[in-house]
Chains A and B, each alone.
Chain A
């Protein structure tokens, strides 16, 4: 029997790689192994509906348990991979067991960046990535009264919005001058800051945390570098993640800001692929090597690698997209706005319907949309096909983007085979 494919990591990317391999008609064995104790589940609801009690574990599993059995996917949960023995083509588990592979997919994800200040180890300082962390947060949210969120990025703001919706006192501390500054334009940051403020969340930007203070081992407040302090009985930290590159590094694979892969998502060993949050890949839309943390990136890279392993080798060229839900607002993002030299808007913040459209030279490179879903979706189509659209057409609400020439020169839809 052939050794087949071993996939390390049971998050969205790992799950999708296994599912897509079978959908591609791959007939060899598939083993999906990871540290998580649970069967693969979706992470996005953990900071949204799950906290509000609208979703439970059963409703966020990617597939029920019998899916794996029915599709001949051997799922090994709660098990860490200790080493990759490339010459022997085996991975070694911490249990000592060894799994042979023909193709190996690293979908090992990322881990939370820890707050590097005094008092960060106090009880009541929590993080959010896994289901268990989400369940812990949910239990603590019910009891907490004064919540400080450290980090004004997507996770921090989503959690702030659910905590406030649950009636808690909430303060968001962001070290940089504006919210979500890595991802969106100032006009979008300002809109979200006003949204949170209008709902009663206290938002401070340029707020550098210097210490978590506490008593009897419990967090009681957060102190900033200017000496000001904010009482808290729950401190939620969302200050980004660190890609899990150690396994790849120990195996001698090239590593940059993540496990380095080619346009085919191959690592420096052509039998080993890396996908999802852990993979630093060349992105045709960014025109640079980037690492993305999103469902889209995980699922599309998994699909691409599955096709390659199943014999339909293809470059990764899917358009990045992302979303965040904060209070009653859905912010949808497509493309990569970094490196833009021109920006126009469609709609306006006052109407709570706004799209920000980014250009580099004459090329449309990204769109952020607040409550303008059609702009987002048609924008995705236009960017994926390399359609021509001028900033004037982009900004003019009387221009229906669906009537624009879809273009054909650019990039093949979600991903092409070459």
Chain B
């Protein structure tokens, strides 16, 4: 099963096995990662599942849709070049080892 590492704003890391097909957001909620709020439930209406994707993996993700790009504009912590919404990142075997950093605040 692919592994995803979540790095909290204060540097704590947690590695989680995520079934392929599950989103990085859903896996975070399921495993008690508090830095992901996911207020809208994964439909690109809020920015509370914002993550910074490790540079090694960023280019391997499918490009963000317009709806996601728009939401990143309102992220509580300003977007960076590797910002994504974790609800839009589906974990695959190819993404095994994915590292995402969580912003200090989501709201």
A and B co-occur in one complex: yes
**Contact-residue bracket for chain A:** 20 to 34
Q: Is B80 on the interface with A (CB-CB < 8 A)? A: no
Are A374 and B66 neighbours in the complex by a CB distance under 8 Å? yes
In the complex, what residues of A have CB within 8 A of residue B41's CB?
42, 44-45, 60, 295
A50 to B24, CA, bound (A): 20
The number of residues on chain B lying at the interface, defined by a beta carbon within 8 Å of a beta carbon of chain A, is 20
Q: Is B9 on the interface with A (CB-CB < 8 A)? A: no
Q: Is A323 on the interface with B (CB-CB < 8 A)? A: yes
- Which stretch, A205-213, A284-292, A376-384, A390-398, touches the partner chain B? A376-384
| Contact among A59, A60, A64, A381 with B74 in the assembled complex (CB-CB below 8 Å) | A381
Q: Is B32 on the interface with A (CB-CB < 8 A)? A: yes
| Contact among B26, B70, B74, B107 with A303 in the assembled complex (CB-CB below 8 Å) | B107
| Contact among A45, A64, A66, A374 with B70 in the assembled complex (CB-CB below 8 Å) | A374
* Nearest opposing residue in chain B for A373, CB measure: B70
Chain B 74-107 against A: per-residue CB contact (8 Å), 1 yes, 0 no?
Answer: 1000000000000000000000000000000001
Are A373 and B66 neighbours in the complex by a CB distance under 8 Å? yes
Q: Is B45 on the interface with A (CB-CB < 8 A)? A: yes
CB distance from A303 to the nearest CB of B (A): 7
Instruction: Say what secondary structure dominates the interface of chain B.
Output: loop
| Contact among B29, B40, B74 with A380 in the assembled complex (CB-CB below 8 Å) | B74
Chain B 23-58 against A: per-residue CB contact (8 Å), 1 yes, 0 no?
Answer: 000100110101000011101111000000000000
Are B73 and A377 neighbours in the complex by a CB distance under 8 Å? yes
CB distance from A126 to the nearest CB of B (A): 23
Q: Is B67 on the interface with A (CB-CB < 8 A)? A: yes
CB distance from A389 to the nearest CB of B (A): 16
Asked whether A373 and B26 contact (CB < 8 A) given A70-B32, A299-B39, A402-B73, the answer is no
* Nearest opposing residue in chain B for A321, CB measure: B45
Are B26 and A376 neighbours in the complex by a CB distance under 8 Å? no
In the complex, what residues of B have CB within 8 A of residue A332's CB?
45
In the complex, what residues of A have CB within 8 A of residue B71's CB?
373, 377
| Contact among B40, B70, B107 with A376 in the assembled complex (CB-CB below 8 Å) | B70
* Nearest opposing residue in chain A for B34, CB measure: A23
Q: A42-B41, A373-B67 are in contact. List 11 more A-B contacts (CB 8 A).
A: A23-B34, A44-B40, A44-B41, A45-B41, A60-B41, A67-B32, A323-B40, A323-B45, A373-B71, A377-B71, A381-B73
Q: List 11 A-B contacts (CB under 8 A).
A: A59-B26, A60-B41, A64-B32, A66-B32, A296-B39, A303-B107, A330-B67, A374-B69, A374-B73, A378-B70, A378-B74
